Chains A and B, each alone.
Chain A
Amino acid sequence: MTIDEQAMASVFEDAFLPFVIEQHGEQAGPAIRSILTFIRGFYKHVSPEGQNEKIVVFQSLDPAARPIGKIGVECTSLTELVNKVVGPCAIQVIPSGIFIIWAKHSIDPANLSANSVVYSFHQGIEHFHANKKSKRVRLFWIFRFTGYDGGFASAKAAYDSSFLLTSFSAPRRLRWDEVGANGTVLGTR
């Protein structure tokens, strides 16, 4: 296999991780991991299809910083937090393992991103924000699912990554029960 330098550069340009590292430097690495871990758990409890308001999740580069002046509600577990998701929300992920939620509170992710790594979800579209710039989450494997021609393995892979599937419009979200017993995907888009 010859090396397609253009394809590699294209992946680099499309991916959100290099974008965040480029904006905030390597100090952003732990925050990215924390946010990705949070999101993965969050969408097990909160269906993105039913979420019409903007969700903003962030972690400050300085763990002690509380960039939102208004008092939020501290939660020690995801199950406690998800019950408080109402309207537009901002959620700060603290490295110690607690979360602070501001429900019914709309916030501009760009402003927040000056000193934080920020993820937003709104109307089926995900962005990462850093240093007042933003990058839409694009999936390099999304083509594989177009028309559901990727087969069982890809379907399972998609299912395992619930948060990235929120980039799909609601009717196209792949569900485990759409996978037939014969290993082909029977779902509708």
Chain B
Amino acid sequence: MVNPDAVFDSLFITAALGKNIQHPVVAEIHVFAYLACLLSLYRGQPVAEWGYGFAGTRGGSPFSPEIDEAVRTMTALGYLAVSDGHITITESGRTELATLQQFHQNRGRVSYLEPASSSALTMPVGVIRHALAQEPTLKPTSQLLTTRSLLDGPYVNRLYEQFATLGHTVGIEHKDLLLPATVWLGYLWRASEIQDDLITARSGESA
């Protein structure tokens, strides 16, 4: 059975990205679903309540089998259309999304999905993808060139430490999660640049 949360998230994110960026690709549905999940953790929601899981790929990207299945199923039903890797929502998909948005459980998810998708208005998608790859639980997958389940294990504590600092920096009173999302992604990007500079400096010293 297709995961209902993943179905709703896939439709919502595809519709939102269609407005916010040009030609979203299927992999970006996974990226923004993962970002939305992380925002729910930032808000204090337990990982298990998200409804489906993610794995980190060797390339350092998040991947959800449930999102993958939902996208395939929605495409087969004509709610989503995939062409040359680009994904769009169809008119029947929008109608289905409007129906699903009326469900109480989905209204709660919108408070995470919307700011995650809107972060694409504040910075390029390529920057978001790169920044998210530096996130403490995802980063080891690309460093170790392995595929592993995300949001469990020893790295999760580091994620929560970052979120604690983030809350302290931006103030935890904000209802709109676009603000912490933007600052956190910016921080991850900047941290990766500082690290790149250090690596460059070290390789220069050893040369």
Contact A10:B121 (CB < 8 A) given known A1-B158, A29-B178: no
Q: Is the CB of B176 within 8 A of A29?
A: yes
- Please tell me if A169 contacts chain B, counting CB pairs below 8 Å: no
Q: Is the CB of A157 within 8 A of B124?
A: yes
Q: Is the CB of A140 within 8 A of B189?
A: yes
Q: Is the CB of B187 within 8 A of A11?
A: yes
- Which of chain B's residues have a CB closer than 8 A to the CB of A32? 178
A8 to chain B, nearest CB (A): 4
- Which of chain A's residues have a CB closer than 8 A to the CB of B22? 160
Q: Which residue in B136, B168, B170 is a CB contact (below 8 Å) of A18?
A: B170
- Which of chain B's residues have a CB closer than 8 A to the CB of A33? 118, 121, 178
B177 to chain A, nearest CB (A): 10
Q: Is the CB of B175 within 8 A of A140?
A: no
Q: Is the CB of A8 within 8 A of B126?
A: no
A140 to chain B, nearest CB (A): 5
- Please tell me if A123 contacts chain B, counting CB pairs below 8 Å: no
Q: Is the CB of B182 within 8 A of A15?
A: yes
Q: Bound complex: CA of A144 vs CA of B19, how far in Å?
A: 26
How many of chain B's residues touch chain A, expressed as a range?
A: 35 or more
Q: Which residue in A21, A37, A157 is a CB contact (below 8 Å) of B127?
A: A157
Q: Bound complex: CA of A157 vs CA of B133, how far in Å?
A: 15
Contact A7:B194 (CB < 8 A) given known A1-B139, A37-B19: yes
Contact indicator per residue, chain B 15-27, by CB within 8 Å of chain A (1) or not (0): 0000111100000
- Please tell me if B94 contacts chain A, counting CB pairs below 8 Å: no
Contact indicator per residue, chain B 117-129, by CB within 8 Å of chain A (1) or not (0): 0100111111101
B70 to chain A, nearest CB (A): 25
Q: Bound complex: CA of A108 vs CA of B130, how far in Å?
A: 38
- Please tell me if B174 contacts chain A, counting CB pairs below 8 Å: yes
B20 to chain A, nearest CB (A): 7
Q: Is the CB of B165 within 8 A of A8?
A: yes
Contact A3:B165 (CB < 8 A) given known A33-B118, A36-B121: yes
Smallest Cβ-Cβ distance to B134: which chain A residue: A1
Q: Bound complex: CA of A1 vs CA of B198, how far in Å?
A: 13
Smallest Cβ-Cβ distance to A34: which chain B residue: B121
Most buried by A among B124, B139, B176, B184: B124
Q: Is the CB of B194 within 8 A of A9?
A: no
Q: Is the CB of A12 within 8 A of B121?
A: no
Contact indicator per residue, chain A 1-29, by CB within 8 Å of chain B (1) or not (0): 10111011111101101100100001001
Chain B residues near A (Cβ < 8 Å): 19-22, 118, 121-127, 129-130, 134, 136, 139, 158, 161-162, 165-166, 168-170, 174-176, 178-179, 182-184, 186-187, 189-191, 193-195
Chain A residues near B (Cβ < 8 Å): 1, 3-5, 7-12, 14-15, 17-18, 21, 26, 29, 32-33, 36-37, 40, 140-141, 143-144, 153-154, 156-158, 160-161, 164
Task: List 12 A–B pairs whose Cβ atoms lie within 8 Å, in order of A's numbering.
Answer: A5-B168, A7-B187, A7-B190, A18-B179, A21-B174, A32-B178, A140-B189, A141-B124, A141-B127, A141-B189, A154-B130, A164-B124
The 5 A-B pairs with the shortest beta carbon distances in the complex, nearest first, are A157-B126, A157-B124, A161-B124, A36-B121, A11-B186
